[in-house]
Structure 1
Amino acid sequence: MTNAKNRRAFMVASASGFAGLHFGTPSKVLSNGFAAAPDAAKAGSGGRAKSVILFFLCGGASHVDTWDMKPDAPAEYRGPFQPISTSAPGIHCCEHMPLLAKQTHHLAVIRSVCGTVNTNDHHAGYYYNLTGHVPDTTFKTQGNDRRPYADDWPFMGSVVGARRPSQQGLPSAITLPHKPSKLPYTRPGQFAARLGVEFDPLYVQGTVDEPLKFQVPSLVLSGDVTADHLRSRQQLLKQLDVARSHFENSAVEQTWKKHQQRTLDLLLSSNATKVFDLESESEATRTRYGTGVNAMSLLLARRLVEAETPFVTVFWKENEAIKGQCKSAGGWDTHGNNFDCLKNHLLPEFDRAFSALIEDLDQRGLLDQTLLVVNSEMGRTPKIGDPRSGGVAGAGRDHWTHCQSVLMAGGGIQGGQTYGKSDRLGEFPSDHPLTPADIAKTVYHAAGIDDLRAEDDQGRPYNLLDEGRPIRELFS
């Protein structure tokens, strides 16, 4: 293949491969599925969220060291962290989140989510929490070798994006700053799957080393594709058609044309290039969020909300510099040295960035129309000590799918409240037990999506999520 052909093929791979071309074949949504979200009055207490930001703490965040602390539990459970008061009477959080403590009057803290699956691993945890569907038997038989399948249940962001088309030329669902996890272990559950690849999120890449630089692969021109080509739709499509024959994964013609159209719309959209320019933000604003890639991802999420993007996902980007001391990939999977990793790295970064997002949206009058969700694929063992990292001496916490906490704010959610309880050790829900299906249904309800009917490519009707119910009590 010549260099020019290589460059053209890379452009198409960037535009479509990063958007999930490898996974799924199209199915169609009922015609009324693309209608605008109902008015809040028609949707009861939901329907106020024009946008959703999902902040997913990759690795499995410890609930008992953050929002569901157990100060009266035995020392081998509670650990060294102390709870502090917050701006919401009666709600406490970890001492290492002082900035979020000042924003807790905006938060609903959900403490009784049980996502138990027999595998107790990351793949199944991602899938359950991102789709609301219990992982099928293939997660048990294949473990972390389980790949995303074409007939998987769709990611909730893809469902929202399908029902709430973007109004400003950007994709309806955007994910940043990475696609979990490193190939070949791509996490299932983050794609549109059976809903159709045209509803896959657009993936935007960021790096730890250059936190202000976000690369939208679809907007990177290379080779003999110049700005002049953008003035001619026909000419650009010819460039893409030539590259198609060199791209490793040929899709059905209808799907390919949809990817062509999405790429073209992005390339021709001036709004698409402006929204990713974080350097246009004031230095004070960037400093308030923090300097890391996760902080800048949340700032970019706010800009995407301003551009009326229906669903933005920020997957916490792991820092490989700390992976050795935490016995993890450098994220929230703190198998070892749990407390130092949280105190010195994870909690300060999270505290500054997420509190800044809440404060920023509130000051701009956008919080009530933006649903914020903080979730993870699992909680962590309430009893300290992971045998894989030295037991009690290693001071780690292992995976724990039996109980986890979820945060919500904005989008009609009444702040300053808790919902559900775990038992005295934080091991299992003891009051108002929930599943990830209930969380997904609550997200849909906040976005005004209560009709989840769809049709497959054979015209057969099905429901995108039968399980669960919206937690209507959370809404004001």
Structure 2
Amino acid sequence: MNNRADRAEGPSRRTFLVASGLGFAGLGFGRPAPAGEVEVGPGRPLASGGSAKSTILFFLCGGASHLDTWDLKPDAPAEFRGPFRPIETIAPGVRLSEHLPLLAGQARHLAVVNSVGASVSTNDHHAGYYYNLTGHQPDPSFLTLGNDRTPRPDDWPFMGTVVASRRPPHPQLVNAITLPHTPSRAPYTRPGQFAAKLGVEHDPLYLMGDRAAPLSFQVPALTLQAEVGPDRLLARRDLLGAIDGARHDLDRASDVRTYSTLEQKALALLSSSRTTRAFDLADEPETVRARYGDTVNGMSLLMARRLVEAGVPFVTVFWMEDQEIAGKCKSAGGWDTHGNNFNCLKENLLPEFDRAFSGLIGDLDDRGLLDETLLLVSSEMGRAPRIGDPRSGGESGAGRDHWTHCQSVLLAGGGIRGGQTFGSSDRVGAYPADRPLTPADVTHTVYHAMGVADLEATDLQGRPFNLLAEGAPIRDLF
């Protein structure tokens, strides 16, 4: 028999299987929203904010070094500043690393925010993801459990799912799509990237990429066996409907609603030729693909542009690590440069990022889409000001350790006034100095740009709560 305790545990196995087939990777980490819990769609009021219709979040997995990218400290002592030098850009007053020459040419679109203080007691990836993706400070369980602190049903929702829940349903796709992977490798899945307490029906659809085949993205919802065509799929739906009708009284009402929602999304995705075309990069001209770079991260940003053109409100690109440089950088192959920080950035990470992100900005601008597309570059943390991580040989290892106390973010488009630097860190980049901010402020800025004003929801007991009570939009950026 189902009881209230069962309801609190989350979705049933049947609902989980349906959502797994859809590619909603977070289903096991959320719960179905009971009827009436979260009103979504066109009835939600919109704020007067930016001009964004869509957001692309480019998340640099591992913790990008703010000190070696867009907040360099050339006057700091040698043990802090490193060998990189800042260069002037096309925008007066905006300086970037010398290893970002293509982005420097797009700086008139950029707002560089150098005063985000995301201090968390754990100083690790899980907590950094959670804070920067949801806007909420990590709870004490992040400190006690560390990497064993997996996503939970009562976590605060990812900002992308909040935006998605406030938009009318997309006619063919879904409102939040994430690619090219789900960070991080199970069982250490990063918290903060799912809808959680907002309701699993708002979880993102995941597109899975492959570093060895950058043009190839697999969508579980669009992967049919060869002998199963759309006609047979629809016939199976009729059969499922008959079976469900015979046992509907055995399911919880909230599970049924969630199951039906996900089932309809799956069928719409599987039976739509327009949907499959949206995921096909092969018809993009080679000159366009070259602009982004022939990498899985570059092609993920190109896919994000296509999804924006298709009307998807929120697209997230989580930087996919390169295992071939894991040993070189004493990391998982991403931005977690515990060792050899400067060579890893100069030779691998920055060239790939520079081409891909500058390509996205230029492509959106050329197509007249930049004003209505908000771009946000973020990460779970910055890197330690003092060079030398004890875990990789200290000073001789030339790495930078985790640093959640200060970081930078980049914004562009969507009503953001480009060509500006906002706030500053102290003389060695350790803590925010002028105009200090938190990830809550950055998250509210996304909501403001997307015109999301109503952040009220209702819990299982019918009690109202605010999805992000802390922080405020950075209005001076607009």
> Is TM > 0.5 for Structure 1 vs Structure 2?
yes
Give the Cα–Cα distance (whole angstroms) in 1 for the partners of residues 197 and 237 of structure 2: 31
Give the Cα–Cα distance (whole angstroms) in 2 for the partners of residues 449 and 371 of structure 1: 13
- After superposition, where does 1:305-324 map in structure 2 within 5 Å? 305-324=308-327
Matched residue of 1:110: which SS?
Answer: strand
Matched residue of 2:298: which SS?
Answer: helix
What displacement does 1:271 show? 2.0
Residue pair 2:16, 2:27 contacting (<8 A) in 1 also: no
What displacement does 1:21 show? 1.9
Residue pair 1:33, 1:451 contacting (<8 A) in 2 also: no
What displacement does 1:334 show? 0.1
Please point out which of 27, 30, 37 is paired with 2:33: 27
Sequence identity percentage: 66
What displacement does 1:16 show? 4.0
Write the deviation string for residues 74-103 of structure 1: whole angstroms up to 9, x where unpaired: 111110111111011011100100000000
Seen in structure 2, the aligned counterparts of structure 1 residues 167 and 255 have a Cα distance that, compared at 3 Å, is: closer
Matched residue of 1:108: which SS?
Answer: strand
Seen in structure 2, the aligned counterparts of structure 1 residues 341 and 50 have a Cα distance that, compared at 3 Å, is: same
Write the deviation string for residues 26-45 of structure 1: whole angstroms up to 9, x where unpaired: 23676764326767xxx34x
Seen in structure 2, the aligned counterparts of structure 1 residues 279 and 240 have a Cα distance that, compared at 3 Å, is: farther
Write the deviation string for residues 139-175 of structure 1: whole angstroms up to 9, x where unpaired: 0110000010000000000000000134331110000
Give the Cα–Cα distance (whole angstroms) in 2 for the partners of residues 31 and 465 of structure 1: 15
Matched residue of 1:125: which SS?
Answer: helix
Please point out which of 349, 356, 359 is paired with 2:359: 356
Give the Cα–Cα distance (whole angstroms) in 2 for the partners of residues 234 and 403 of structure 1: 51
Matched residue of 1:374: which SS?
Answer: strand
What displacement does 1:456 show? 1.6
Q: Is 1:326 matched with 2:329? A: yes
Q: TM-score, normalised by structure 1?
A: 0.92
Q: Is 1:66 matched with 2:69? A: yes
Matched residue of 2:304: which SS?
Answer: helix
Q: Is 1:191 matched with 2:198? A: no
Give the Cα–Cα distance (whole angstroms) in 1 for the partners of residues 410 and 22 of structure 2: 33
Q: Is 1:447 matched with 2:450? A: yes
Q: Which residue of 2 aligns with 1:410?
A: 413
Residue pair 2:387, 2:400 contacting (<8 A) in 1 also: yes
Matched residue of 2:57: which SS?
Answer: strand
Identify unmatched segments of 5+ residues in structure 1: 1-7, 245-250
| Structure 2 residue identity aligned to 1:34 | G
- After superposition, where does 1:155-170 map in structure 2 within 5 Å? 155-170=158-173
Give the Cα–Cα distance (whole angstroms) in 2 for the partners of residues 97 and 37 of structure 1: 40
Higher deviation after alignment, 320-329 or 46-55: 46-55
Residue pair 2:19, 2:262 contacting (<8 A) in 1 also: no
Give the Cα–Cα distance (whole angstroms) in 1 for the partners of residues 110 and 30 of structure 2: 36
Q: Which residue of 1 aligns with 2:342?
A: 339
Seen in structure 2, the aligned counterparts of structure 1 residues 240 and 201 have a Cα distance that, compared at 3 Å, is: farther
Q: Which residue of 2 aligns with 1:127?
A: 130
| Structure 1 residue identity aligned to 2:32 | P
Q: Is 1:214 matched with 2:217? A: yes
Q: TM-score, normalised by structure 2?
A: 0.91
Q: Which residue of 1 aligns with 2:287?
A: 284
Give the Cα–Cα distance (whole angstroms) in 2 for the partners of residues 239 and 100 of structure 1: 56
What displacement does 1:387 show? 0.4
Give the Cα–Cα distance (whole angstroms) in 2 for the partners of residues 383 and 214 of structure 1: 39
Residue pair 2:52, 2:371 contacting (<8 A) in 1 also: yes
Seen in structure 2, the aligned counterparts of structure 1 residues 30 and 105 have a Cα distance that, compared at 3 Å, is: farther
Give the Cα–Cα distance (whole angstroms) in 2 for the partners of residues 101 and 406 of structure 1: 15
Give the Cα–Cα distance (whole angstroms) in 2 for the partners of residues 404 and 36 of structure 1: 36
Residue pair 2:230, 2:270 contacting (<8 A) in 1 also: no
| Structure 2 residue identity aligned to 1:72 | D
Write the deviation string for residues 97-132 of structure 1: whole angstroms up to 9, x where unpaired: 000000011000000001111000000000000000
Q: Which residue of 2 aligns with 1:248?
A: none
Seen in structure 2, the aligned counterparts of structure 1 residues 364 and 38 have a Cα distance that, compared at 3 Å, is: farther
Give the Cα–Cα distance (whole angstroms) in 2 for the partners of residues 178 and 236 of structure 1: 33
Residue pair 2:20, 2:27 contacting (<8 A) in 1 also: no
| Structure 2 residue identity aligned to 1:89 | P
Matched residue of 1:361: which SS?
Answer: helix
Residue pair 1:230, 1:236 contacting (<8 A) in 2 also: no
Residue pair 1:37, 1:447 contacting (<8 A) in 2 also: no
Q: Is 1:256 matched with 2:259? A: yes
Q: Which residue of 1 aligns with 2:441?
A: 438
Write the deviation string for residues 296-343 of structure 1: whole angstroms up to 9, x where unpaired: 000000000000100000000000000000000000000000000000
Give the Cα–Cα distance (whole angstroms) in 2 for the partners of residues 88 and 105 of structure 1: 5
What displacement does 1:231 show? 4.6
Give the Cα–Cα distance (whole angstroms) in 2 for the partners of residues 145 and 47 of structure 1: 38
Q: Which residue of 1 aligns with 2:298?
A: 295
Matched residue of 2:99: which SS?
Answer: coil
Give the Cα–Cα distance (whole angstroms) in 1 for the partners of residues 39 and 202 of structure 2: 16
Write the deviation string for residues 5-48 of structure 1: whole angstroms up to 9, x where unpaired: xxx99984642464422121123676764326767xxx34x141
Higher deviation after alignment, 179-188 or 227-236: 227-236
What displacement does 1:228 show? 2.3
Give the Cα–Cα distance (whole angstroms) in 2 for the partners of residues 109 and 36 of structure 1: 34
Write the deviation string for residues 190-225 of structure 1: whole angstroms up to 9, x where unpaired: 000000000000011001111100001101012763
Matched residue of 1:205: which SS?
Answer: coil
Report how many residues are paired.
Answer: 458
Task: Give the root-mean-square deviation of aligned CA atoms.
Answer: 2.3
Seen in structure 2, the aligned counterparts of structure 1 residues 164 and 332 have a Cα distance that, compared at 3 Å, is: same
Give the Cα–Cα distance (whole angstroms) in 2 for the partners of residues 401 and 17 of structure 1: 31
Matched residue of 1:22: which SS?
Answer: helix
| Structure 2 residue identity aligned to 1:465 | L
Q: Which residue of 2 aligns with 1:137?
A: 140
Q: Is 1:235 matched with 2:238? A: yes
Q: Is 1:474 matched with 2:477? A: yes
Q: Which residue of 1 aligns with 2:109?
A: 106
| Structure 2 residue identity aligned to 1:470 | P
Identify unmatched segments of 5+ residues in structure 2: 1-13, 248-253
Residue pair 1:168, 1:308 contacting (<8 A) in 2 also: no
Please point out which of 225, 229, 241 is paired with 1:226: 229
- After superposition, where does 1:417-436 map in structure 2 within 5 Å? 417-436=420-439
